[in-house]
A and B are shown apart, each in its own frame.
Chain A
Amino acid sequence: MIEISTLSKTYGAQTVLNIEQLHIPAGQTFGLVGNNGAGKTTLFSLMLDLISPTSGTVTNNEVIVQNSEDWKTHTAAFLDESFLIGYLTPEEYFTFIGGLRGIKKEDVSIALEAYTDFFHGEVLGQKKYIRDLSKGNQKKVGIVGTLLSNTPLVILDEPFANLDPTTQIRLKNLLKEQASASGKTFLISSHDLQHITDVCDRIVVLHQGKIVRDEVTSPDTLKELEGFFSEQL
């Protein structure tokens, strides 16, 4: 699905990301972990062509992201609130996103029913604009927007942050369900080691822009990661 070779990003003298090689196969639930400034968001932004790499390329489903816009058809992403349109209601936002993906308004409404639990009655039918929702509810809108898009690739930056405990657990179930049922590829970053090891098949640890660990999730992974990050300090 994703192929990265000799990708780097440098600001002035500081290299914030430097990845020799990274291959993410289709259908994988890929977890990205790292402290602040490790380069997680930079990596996602490069994958989405939001920033330009200093060297190297990202290939998304055989499309070189830096050269062509064709990757947009099969990729959905939610990095932060700049992926939301504040003056729309959540319903209008979903219709907009759906419309861009060629999903009819009625089908969007049907698809939304699956997320009733996740929204917890706080998002739909409120007659509120997204800008007037709380941070947590805004996040729910953004996440569901990507899931609705029905794209083979979904990129989520720290989806668990800002969510209440109940919703965090529901999100975990939702992601696991979708990953196993639809064969979607998920790229997820998080600071929450517990959640990310629960959800992901594979965990990659970034430190100072470099991949320092890359392993398939096993029952021991959480312990190892905790050990790794406490030594870092």
Chain B
Amino acid sequence: MLSHFLFLQWKSFVRGAGFATGLAQKIILGFGWVYFAFVFTGLAFIGFYYAQDELGEDPLVFLSGNLIYGVVFWVILRYFLQKMPAVHVQPLLALPVSKKSIVRYGLSKTVLSFFNLSNLFFFVPFGIILFREEYNPLGVLGWWIAVGSLILATNFLNIMLNSVDRILIVVAALLAGLFALQYFEIINLAVWTAPLFMAPYKQPLWGLIPFGLLVLLYRWSFAHFRNKLFLDSDAMRPKKETHRVADLNWLDRFGRIAIFLRNDIRLIVRNKRARVSVWMGFAFLLYGLFFMNDIYSSPVWMVFVGIFVSGGFLFGFGQYVPSWDSSYYPLMMTQNIPYKEYLTSKWWLVVVGTLAGMILSSFYVFFGWETYLAILAGGVYNIGINAYLVLLSGAYTRTPIDLTSTKNAFGDKKSFNLKSLLLSIPKILLPMFVFYVGVLVHSKGVGIAFVALVGILGFAFRNLVFGWIEKIYQQEKYQTLLAYKQKNA
């Protein structure tokens, strides 16, 4: 049975529209893997001897003590970045394939995720060091089982977080509570949990408890999806949303572009995937807060933060232009719409989103004018340069987004994932470089000015760049149309 599924998976990959680009991304991802393998393995070695020699602590005890933070961090990271597995279920339902094996396949696919396997690069070397340093081998095995089970347990927990909103709320509240307890120093999580994580080492049988947790979570998600494999279950059928009335007449003052903007706003309001991408934009506004402490120590990060804070919408939504229109792209291509007009409307949408980000982020003034100026410069750069880059990469992305179908019980409902994050790296590195040049020339202020200047220059050449992008879209038109036909690739 498994071979059948793998056969389908392979065919959908090889025959998928984005095969060539998919391959390129896979290669980039491959490099990412190698990188993380090195980093994690290195971390295992360095971490072990640093704890032992510098801190004078038992590395295993030290790690176990801090493992709770790792687990929590991993759960959060997974929720935001891990892609949910997509199994095209519907055609299988009427075939002699047991529903159990469909679900089992979908779930086991998630196990191969980066967020599980990458842990091997850390915990395997770490364990080997433990063996070599003559820790009790049986204890290390017990500890391994416990940690491995926990990692996989968070995998299945994440699946549930993604599919049931109620569980998400409960877990989020729980985490917030733990955070509060820790923050106000009511309890010290590390001290409390350290014995729990050390127990499997002292008595390997304790390793069975996390393993039991893993089995429990697996069965839970199994049962959850098993019950959803009916055509009329919520998971398979697009929810008939109540009609959100919005005439949006105030848009009319923008002239002809209003026709498109109206549609795009409705697209965002009425489709979950698009909505999530906008919420991500809001989340990015707060992203800079994480950096407020270190920001002065490494000025280059100021621009990094500046680009991200104002560009959340640009990266979350803009990245998938024109894929948002993929399900009706032939309409757009035959209606009375010149390409230029279509692109301009998309560009405006991204620009308005970025401007909103720049205004909403004004609270960063509290962290100093320089910080806010860096964000503003980042915003200008986003408008002047990245807005084009996003449109440009859109011409080649060609990943159809199927808005109408949530027919997939295992559907990927998130538009923001690790892959799109990797694709945005070039859009961030360049302004960091420009800023750095400014710093070398004179000072941070000049760096910020340089970044803004490049943005303004880009903006000034708007017509030129638009003509150029338009030509590329024209060239790619047939390819794009063909690619969008393959909805489930």
Give A residues with C-beta under 8 Å from B: 48-52, 69, 72-73, 75-77, 79-80, 82-89, 92, 96-97, 99-101, 127-129, 131-132, 149
Provide the residues of chain A in CB contact with B9, threshold 8 Å: none
Residues of chain A within 8 A of B266, CB atoms compared: 87-88, 92
**B331 contact set on A, CB distance < 8 A:** 82-85
Separation of A96 and B336 alpha carbons in the complex (Å): 11
Contact A84 to B328, CB < 8 A, known contacts A50-B481, A89-B243, A131-B238? yes
Which of A48, A52, A92 has the largest number of chain B CB atoms within 10 A? A92
A-B contact pairs, 18 of them (CB 8 A): A50-B330, A51-B478, A51-B482, A72-B334, A72-B337, A77-B334, A79-B330, A82-B327, A82-B331, A82-B485, A83-B330, A83-B331, A86-B328, A86-B403, A86-B404, A87-B403, A99-B256, A99-B259
| CA distance in complex: A100, B331 (Å) | 12
A49 near B333: Cβ-Cβ < 8 Å:
yes
Structural contact, A75 and B328, CB atoms closer than 8 A: no
Whether A129 lies near B334 (C-beta < 8 A) is no
Chain B residues with a Cβ under 8 A of chain A: 238, 240-241, 243, 256, 259, 262-263, 266-267, 270-271, 327-331, 333-339, 403-404, 477-478, 481-482, 484-485
In contact, B481 and A69 (Cβ under 8 angstroms): no
Which residue of chain B lies nearest to A142 when distances are taken between CB atoms in the complex?
Answer: B331
Q: Closest B-chain residue to A132, C-beta based?
A: B240
Cβ of A75: which chain B residues have Cβ within 8 Å of it?
334
- Whole-angstrom distance between the Cβ of A33 and the nearest chain B Cβ: 23
* A-B contacts at CB below 8 angstroms, number: 83
Contacts of A72 in B (CB 8 A): 334-338
Question: B243 near A96 (CB under 8 angstroms)?
Answer: no
Q: With A48-B334, A100-B259 in contact, is A87–B243 under 8 Å at CB?
A: no
Since A49-B334, A82-B330, A128-B240 are in contact, a sample of 10 more A-B pairs with Cβ atoms closer than 8 Å, ordered by chain A residue number, is A51-B482, A72-B337, A77-B334, A79-B330, A82-B331, A83-B328, A83-B334, A87-B267, A132-B240, A149-B336
In the complex, which of the residues B328, B481, B485 has the most CB atoms of chain A within 10 Å of its own CB atom?
B328
Interchain nearest-CB distance for A27 vs B (Å): 21
Contacts of A51 in B (CB 8 A): 478, 481-482
Which residues of the partner chain B approach A50 to less than 8 Å between Cβ atoms? Answer: 330, 333-334, 478, 481
Which 8 pairs from chain A and chain B are nearest by CB? A127-B243, A99-B259, A86-B404, A83-B331, A131-B404, A87-B270, A82-B330, A100-B336
Most buried by B among A48, A82, A99: A82
CB-defined contacts of A99 to chain B, threshold 8 Å: 256, 259
User: Which residue of chain B lies nearest to A48 when distances are taken between CB atoms in the complex?
Assistant: B334
CB distance from A13 to the nearest CB of B (A): 19
A93 to B293, CA, bound (A): 50
Q: Measured between C-beta atoms, what is the minimum distance from A97 to chain B in Å?
A: 7
Report the bound CA distance from A99 to B450 in whole Å: 42
Q: Which residues of A contact B482 (CB under 8 A)?
A: 51
With contact pairs A49-B333, A75-B334, A87-B271 given, residues A96 and B403 touching in the complex (Cβ less than 8 Å):
no
- Give the distance in Å from the alpha carbon of A228 to the alpha carbon of B414 in the complex: 53
Instruction: Output the least CB separation between A146 and chain B (Å).
Output: 10
A132 lies within 8 A of B328 (CB): no
Q: Which of B267, B333, B338 has the most CB of A within 10 A?
A: B333
Knowing A49-B333, A75-B334 touch, does A85 contact B243 (C-beta < 8 A)?
no
Q: Determine how close the nearest CB of chain B comes to the CB of A60; give it in whole angstroms.
A: 11
A95 to chain B, nearest CB (A): 9
A101 contacts B243, C-beta separation under 8 Å: no
Contacts of A76 in B (CB 8 A): 334
CB distance from A187 to the nearest CB of B (A): 13
Q: How far is the CB of B388 from chain A (nearest CB, A)?
A: 21
Chain A nearest Cβ from B261, distance in angstroms: 11
Q: Nearest-CB distance from A87 to chain B (Å)?
A: 4
Contacts of A73 in B (CB 8 A): 336
Nearest residue, chain A, Cβ from B478? A52
A83 to B331, CA, bound (A): 4
Q: How far is the CA of A101 from the CA of B484 in the complex (A)?
A: 25
Q: Which residues of A contact B484 (CB under 8 A)?
A: 82
Smallest CB separation, A169 vs chain B (Å):
27
CB atoms of B270 and A69 under 8 A apart: no
- A84, A86, A97, A132, most chain B CB atoms within 10 A: A86
Q: Which residues of chain A are near B259, meaning CB under 8 Å?
A: 96, 99-100
* In contact, B243 and A128 (Cβ under 8 angstroms): yes
Across-interface contacts of B336 in A (CB, < 8 A) = 72-73, 100-101, 149
B334 with A82: CB separation less than 8 A? no
Contact of B328 with A129 in the complex, beta carbons under 8 Å: no
Is the CB–CB distance between B328 and A85 below 8 Å?
yes
B contact residues around A89 at 8 Å (CB): 243
Q: How far is the CA of A149 from the CA of B331 in the complex (A)?
A: 13
Instruction: Please measure, in the bound complex, the distance between the C-alpha atom of A72 and the C-alpha atom of B328, giving whole angstroms.
Output: 16
Chain A residue nearest to B238 in the complex (CB): A131
Residues of B within 8 A of A79 (CB): 330
A92 to B243, CA, bound (A): 12
Complex Cα distance A129/B330, Å?
A: 19
Distance between Cα atoms of A100 and B238 in the complex (Å): 29
Give the distance to chain A from B268, nearest Cβ to Cβ, in Å.
10
A42 to chain B, nearest CB (A): 13
Contact present for A132 and B238 (CB under 8 Å): yes
Query: Which B residues are CB-close (under 8 A) to A149?
Result: 336
Q: Which residue of A lies closest to B325 (CB)?
A: A85
Instruction: Judge whether B329 and A97 touch: CB under 8 Å.
Output: no
User: Which B-chain residue is minimally distant from A83 (CB atoms)?
Assistant: B331
Cβ–Cβ < 8 Å partners of B335 in chain A: 72, 97, 100
Residues of B near A96 (CB, < 8 A) are 259, 262-263
* Set of chain B residues within 8 Å of A97, measured between Cβ atoms: 335
A49 contacts across to B, CB distance below 8 A: 333-334, 477
Chain B residues lying within 8 Å of A87, measured Cβ to Cβ, are 266-267, 270-271, 403-404
Q: Roughly how many angstroms separate A231 CA and B331 CA in the complex, as a whole number?
A: 38
Closest chain-A Cβ to B264's Cβ sits at a distance in Å of 11
Closest Cβ–Cβ distance, residue A174 to chain B (whole Å): 21
Residue of A nearest to B267 (CB): A87
Which residue of the partner chain B has the closest CB to A82? B330
CB-CB < 8 A to A77: which residues of B? 334
Q: How far is the CB of A67 from chain B (nearest CB, A)?
A: 11
A100 vs B485: C-alpha distance when bound (angstroms): 24
CB distance from A99 to the nearest CB of B (A): 4
